[in-house]
A and B are shown apart, each in its own frame.
Chain A
Amino acid sequence: MTLTADHPTRPTAPPLRRDRRRWAWGLGAAVVVAWSLAGAGLFSGDVLNPGGSAQFGRFAAAALDPAADAAFLGLLARSALVTVAYAAAGTALALLLGAVGAPLVARTTWGRRRAGWLAARGVLAVPRGLHEAVWGLLLVNVLGLDPWVGVLAIGIPYGAGSAKVFADLVDEVPRGAYRALRAAGAGRTAAALYGLLPPAAGGLLSYALYRLECAVRSAVVLGMVGAGGLGYQLALSFASLRWEQVWSAVYALSLLCLVADVAGRALRRRVAAPPASARRDPVLTAAVVGTVVLVGWSCWYLALSPASLVSERTVTQLRHLLGAAWPPATDGDLLRSLGVLAVDTVQMSVVAIAVALLGTVLLAGPAARPAGRSSPGRRVAGALVRGGLLLLRAVPPPVWALVLLFVLLPGVLPGALALGVHTLGVLGRLAAEATEELDPRPRAALTALGARPAGAWLYGVLPRAAGPVLVHALCRWEVAVRDTVLVGLLGAGGLGALLASELATFDWAAGTTVLAAVVVLTWAVDVVSDRARAALR
Chain B
Amino acid sequence: MSTRRAARSGGPDALLPPLSRRSLLAGAGVALAAAVTGCGRSAASAPSGPLHVGAIPDQDPEVLQRLYGTVADAVSAALDLEVEYTPVTDYAAAVSLFRTGDLDLVWFGGLTGVQARLQTPGAEPIAQRDIDQAFTSVFVVNAATGLAPSGELTALAPLRFTYGSETSTSGRLMPAWFLREAGVDPQGFPGGPGFSGSHDATLALVASGSYQAGVLNSQVWRSRSEQGAVDPAVVRYAESPPYHDYHWLLGPQAAERTGVPDLADRLRDLFTGLPPGDPVLELFGAGAFVPARSSHYDRIEEIGRDLGLVS
Q: Do A and B come from one complex?
A: yes
Q: Cα distance A200–B5 when bound, in Å?
A: 10
10 contacts between A and B (CB under 8 A): A137-B92, A140-B96, A224-B90, A236-B62, A240-B200, A288-B24, A305-B43, A306-B40, A505-B115, A505-B166
The contact string, 1 if C-beta is below 8 Å from chain A, for chain B 1-32, is 11111101111000111010000100010011
Contacts of A406 in B (CB 8 A): 204-205, 208, 210
Given contacts A406-B205, A504-B91, contact A306 B36 (CB under 8 A): yes
A144 in complex: contacting residue of B97, B191, B210, B233, CB < 8 Å:
B97
Please tell me if the beta carbons of B31 and A279 are within 8 angstroms of each other in the complex.
Answer: no
**Does any Cβ of B come within 8 Å of A503's Cβ?**
yes
Binds A, one of B81-89, B129-137, B275-283: B81-89
Given contacts A144-B102, A296-B35, contact A507 B204 (CB under 8 A): no
Please tell me if the beta carbons of A506 and B35 are within 8 angstroms of each other in the complex.
Answer: no
Binds A, one of B70-78, B240-248, B303-311: B303-311
Please tell me if the beta carbons of B210 and A225 are within 8 angstroms of each other in the complex.
Answer: no
Chain A 137-178 interface residues, beta-carbon cutoff 8 Å to B:
137, 140-141, 144-146, 173, 177
List residues of chain A with CB under 8 Å of any chain B CB: 49, 51-52, 54-56, 75, 92, 136-137, 140-141, 144-146, 173, 177, 198-203, 224-226, 228, 232-233, 235-242, 245, 271-274, 278-280, 285, 288-289, 292, 295-297, 299-300, 303-308, 311, 313, 317, 398, 402, 405-411, 489-492, 500-501, 503-507
Q: Cα distance A202–B31 when bound, in Å?
A: 24
**Does any Cβ of A come within 8 Å of B119's Cβ?**
yes
Please tell me if the beta carbons of A491 and B61 are within 8 angstroms of each other in the complex.
Answer: no
Number of interface residues of B (CB under 8 A): 83
Please tell me if the beta carbons of B31 and A199 are within 8 angstroms of each other in the complex.
Answer: no
**Does any Cβ of A come within 8 Å of B101's Cβ?**
yes
**Does any Cβ of A come within 8 Å of B48's Cβ?**
no
Please tell me if the beta carbons of A398 and B197 are within 8 angstroms of each other in the complex.
Answer: yes
B37 in complex: contacting residue of A240, A285, A306, CB < 8 Å:
A306
Q: Cα distance A317–B61 when bound, in Å?
A: 30
A141 in complex: contacting residue of B65, B100, B204, CB < 8 Å:
B100
A280 in complex: contacting residue of B17, B61, B93, B196, CB < 8 Å:
B17
Candidate in A200, A304, A505 with the most chain B CB atoms within 10 angstroms: A505
Please tell me if the beta carbons of A201 and B92 are within 8 angstroms of each other in the complex.
Answer: no
**Does any Cβ of A come within 8 Å of B150's Cβ?**
no
List residues of chain B with CB under 8 Å of any chain A CB: 1-6, 8-11, 15-17, 19, 24, 28, 31-32, 34-37, 39-45, 52, 59-62, 65-66, 86-97, 99-103, 115, 119, 142, 144, 160, 162, 166-167, 191-192, 194-198, 200-201, 204-205, 207-211, 231, 233, 308-311
Q: Cα distance A407–B192 when bound, in Å?
A: 18
Q: Cα distance A141–B194 when bound, in Å?
A: 27
Please tell me if the beta carbons of B2 and A296 are within 8 angstroms of each other in the complex.
Answer: no
Please tell me if the beta carbons of B66 and A236 are within 8 angstroms of each other in the complex.
Answer: yes
Candidate in B52, B88, B167 with the most chain A CB atoms within 10 angstroms: B88
B192 in complex: contacting residue of A49, A136, A238, A492, CB < 8 Å:
A492
Please tell me if the beta carbons of A280 and B19 are within 8 angstroms of each other in the complex.
Answer: yes
Please tell me if the beta carbons of A237 and B6 are within 8 angstroms of each other in the complex.
Answer: no
Q: Cα distance A313–B35 when bound, in Å?
A: 24
Please tell me if the beta carbons of A299 and B36 are within 8 angstroms of each other in the complex.
Answer: yes
Please tell me if the beta carbons of B39 and A240 are within 8 angstroms of each other in the complex.
Answer: no
Please tell me if the beta carbons of B198 and A304 are within 8 angstroms of each other in the complex.
Answer: no
Given contacts A240-B60, A303-B43, contact A279 B28 (CB under 8 A): no
Please tell me if the beta carbons of A239 and B198 are within 8 angstroms of each other in the complex.
Answer: yes
Contacts of B231 in A (CB 8 A): 54-55
Given contacts A280-B19, A501-B166, contact A199 B3 (CB under 8 A): yes
A505 in complex: contacting residue of B1, B61, B86, B308, CB < 8 Å:
B308
- Say how far B252's CB is from chain A's closest CB, in angstroms: 15
A288 in complex: contacting residue of B28, B97, B309, B311, CB < 8 Å:
B28
Closest 4 CB pairs of A and B: A52-B208, A305-B40, A296-B35, A272-B1
Contacts of A136 in B (CB 8 A): 93
Q: Cα distance A236–B56 when bound, in Å?
A: 10
Please tell me if the beta carbons of A405 and B102 are within 8 angstroms of each other in the complex.
Answer: no
Please tell me if the beta carbons of B5 and A201 are within 8 angstroms of each other in the complex.
Answer: yes
Candidate in A242, A280, A504 with the most chain B CB atoms within 10 angstroms: A504
| Nearest opposing residue in chain B for A291, CB measure | B28
Please tell me if the beta carbons of A241 and B28 are within 8 angstroms of each other in the complex.
Answer: no
Contacts of B191 in A (CB 8 A): 410-411, 491-492
Please tell me if the beta carbons of B310 and A505 are within 8 angstroms of each other in the complex.
Answer: yes
Contacts of A232 in B (CB 8 A): 87, 89
Please tell me if the beta carbons of B204 and A410 are within 8 angstroms of each other in the complex.
Answer: no
- Say how far B130's CB is from chain A's closest CB, in angstroms: 23
Contacts of A402 in B (CB 8 A): 196-197, 201, 204-205
Please tell me if the beta carbons of B86 and A145 are within 8 angstroms of each other in the complex.
Answer: yes
Q: Cα distance A66–B233 when bound, in Å?
A: 26
Contacts of A201 in B (CB 8 A): 2, 5
Q: Cα distance A286–B53 when bound, in Å?
A: 43
Q: Cα distance A145–B87 when bound, in Å?
A: 10
Please tell me if the beta carbons of B210 and A224 are within 8 angstroms of each other in the complex.
Answer: no
Please tell me if the beta carbons of A506 and B119 are within 8 angstroms of each other in the complex.
Answer: yes
Contacts of B311 in A (CB 8 A): 505-507
A203 in complex: contacting residue of B2, B99, B195, B211, CB < 8 Å:
B2
Please tell me if the beta carbons of B309 and A505 are within 8 angstroms of each other in the complex.
Answer: yes
Contacts of B94 in A (CB 8 A): 226
Given pairs A49-B210, A311-B45, A409-B210, 12 additional interface contacts (CB within 8 A): A75-B66, A140-B93, A140-B97, A146-B44, A201-B2, A224-B89, A236-B61, A285-B24, A295-B35, A300-B39, A406-B204, A505-B308
Contacts of B41 in A (CB 8 A): 300, 303, 305
Q: Cα distance A504–B167 when bound, in Å?
A: 7
- Say how far B132's CB is from chain A's closest CB, in angstroms: 20
Please tell me if the beta carbons of A225 and B89 are within 8 angstroms of each other in the complex.
Answer: yes
- Say how far A338's CB is from chain B's closest CB, in angstroms: 16
| Nearest opposing residue in chain B for A510, CB measure | B311
A49 in complex: contacting residue of B43, B59, B102, B208, CB < 8 Å:
B208
Please tell me if the beta carbons of B89 and A308 are within 8 angstroms of each other in the complex.
Answer: no
- Say how far B214's CB is from chain A's closest CB, in angstroms: 12
A274 in complex: contacting residue of B4, B89, B198, CB < 8 Å:
B4
Contacts of B89 in A (CB 8 A): 224-226, 232, 235-236, 239
Contacts of A140 in B (CB 8 A): 93, 96-97, 100
- Say how far B44's CB is from chain A's closest CB, in angstroms: 4
Contacts of B210 in A (CB 8 A): 49, 52, 405-410
Q: Cα distance A145–B45 when bound, in Å?
A: 9
Contacts of B102 in A (CB 8 A): 144-145
Contacts of B37 in A (CB 8 A): 306
Please tell me if the beta carbons of B208 and A51 are within 8 angstroms of each other in the complex.
Answer: yes
Contacts of A317 in B (CB 8 A): 100
Contacts of A492 in B (CB 8 A): 191-192
Please tell me if the beta carbons of B39 and A245 are within 8 angstroms of each other in the complex.
Answer: no
B2 in complex: contacting residue of A200, A278, A490, CB < 8 Å:
A200
